[in-house]
Amino acid sequence: MEPALVVPAAPSIQPKFVCPRCKGELAANSTSYRCGRCVVTYPVLFGIPDFRLRSDRYLSLEDERAKAGRLYEFGQSASVEEVVQFYYSLSDDLPHNMALRYQAATIAASERAQHIVRDLAPKLESDILVDLGCGTGGLLVSAQNCYKAIYGVDIALRWLVVCKKRLEENNATATLVCADAEALPFPSRSFTQAVAADLVEHVYDVDGTLGEISRTLKPGGLLWLCAVNRYCVGPHPLTGVWAIGFLPARPRAWLLKKLKGVDLLRYANMVSPGYLGALLRRRGFTLLATKPKHVVAGVKAGYDVFERGLVALYRLAMRLPFMRGTLVRIGPAFAIICRKEDVAKDARRPR
């Protein structure tokens, strides 16, 4: 029997939300939010408002909520590390070494996110952060006591259940929201800083997502994002296969099925620094910095000795100024820091 989905307990002071579809006002109670204009009710599940208009690409809404329920029940008597291990025991479509990599990276998420807070240099008295694609909440924990308010958003309710557990274990607070990054339930100009770490590879539409981020950022607000580089000449971070991003979609899918048993990039957007930079500029952002993505040294699970050596070389090359441009162009992943300007430019996609 599946656990009950709706948790009636809700905070007495509600954050301000709008309908993700029409951006109109919502009527709220302890178990749901309702838009009278759209005649849609958005439930509160496990204490988390669910404003999704669709699921992610991996599970239907019904299956995803059921999986979140299993994680919620398991987490009542388990640590966040045990919940993460349980999550990956339920995911039988990943090669074993890739599951170990993802699991280790998830557990180390707080350590991996510390450099993002340093890059953004927030002001406690004024800055409001939204972490889009917050996953299990590593950044939300690292950002504690640095912001006036913190919001964590993810389209996967299952990840937010784990995130809630991480926050509880660390005595941390944040407002968690289940929503699609292309249809955010926030008024325009709500935030002064936004983070989209490893998000754009997994959304339905990259340009639409950047448009929503632009809408919800205040003028002068900062966006920090990172993504896997399709033109990585070494092992691709999501697959471990060398230079896989250079292949067209069909040969890429065939090769991954042969090597990994499943097309690990079947729903991934293949992006590059130049492509994202052009989209950001057209969405009204000024690029402040583009650099190689920071990599934590301690995550070793799922990597063989040779791959660990490559990680060590990458970390060494990052310290050399003359290598940083090369790493951005052909390295495994990159980060962009940009500022929202007062007036958005032409929002058409770059040709």
175 within a domain of the structure (yes/no)? yes
Instruction: Report pLDDT for 15.
Output: 60
Reference 100, options 87, 118, 116; nearest CA is 87
Question: What distance in Å separates the CA atoms of residue 188 and residue 41, rounded to the nearest whole number?
Answer: 21
- 349 close to 282: Cβ distance less than 8 angstroms: yes
15 within a domain of the structure (yes/no)? no
For the cut 70, the answer to whether the pLDDT of residue 299 exceeds it is: no
Q: What is the pLDDT of residues 32-48, one digit of tens each?
A: 999 999 999 999 999 99
118 within a domain of the structure (yes/no)? yes
Domain span at residue 324 reads: 48-229+271-340
Q: CATH number for the domain including 206?
A: 3.40.50.150
Reference 232, options 333, 101, 335, 102; nearest CA is 333
191 within a domain of the structure (yes/no)? yes
Q: What is the pLDDT of residues 236-281, one digit of tens each?
A: 989 989 999 999 999 999 999 999 999 999 999 999 999 999 999 9
pTM for this entry: 0.90
Instruction: Report pLDDT for 348.
Output: 45
Sign of CA dihedral 64, 159, 96, 256: positive
52 within a domain of the structure (yes/no)? yes
24 within a domain of the structure (yes/no)? no
DSSP per position, 56-99:
-SSS-HHHHHHHHHHHHHHHTTS-HHHHHHHHHHH-TTS-HHHH
Residue, of 82 and 16, whose pLDDT is higher:
82
- The total number of structural domains that make up the chain: 1
318 within a domain of the structure (yes/no)? yes
210 within a domain of the structure (yes/no)? yes
Residue, of 347 and 33, whose pLDDT is higher:
33
| Beta-sheet pairing, 32-35 with 40-45 | antiparallel
| Tokens 């849609």 found at | 40
Instruction: Report pLDDT for 199.
Output: 97
Packed helices 80-90 and 96-107: angle between N→C axes, nearest 10 degrees: 160
- 22 close to 53: Cβ distance less than 8 angstroms: no
Confidence of residue 9 (pLDDT cuts 50, 70, 90): very low
For the cut 60, the answer to whether the pLDDT of residue 2 exceeds it is: no
Confidence of residue 298 (pLDDT cuts 50, 70, 90): low
What is the separation of C-alpha 98 from the centre of its chain, rounded to a whole number of angstroms? 18
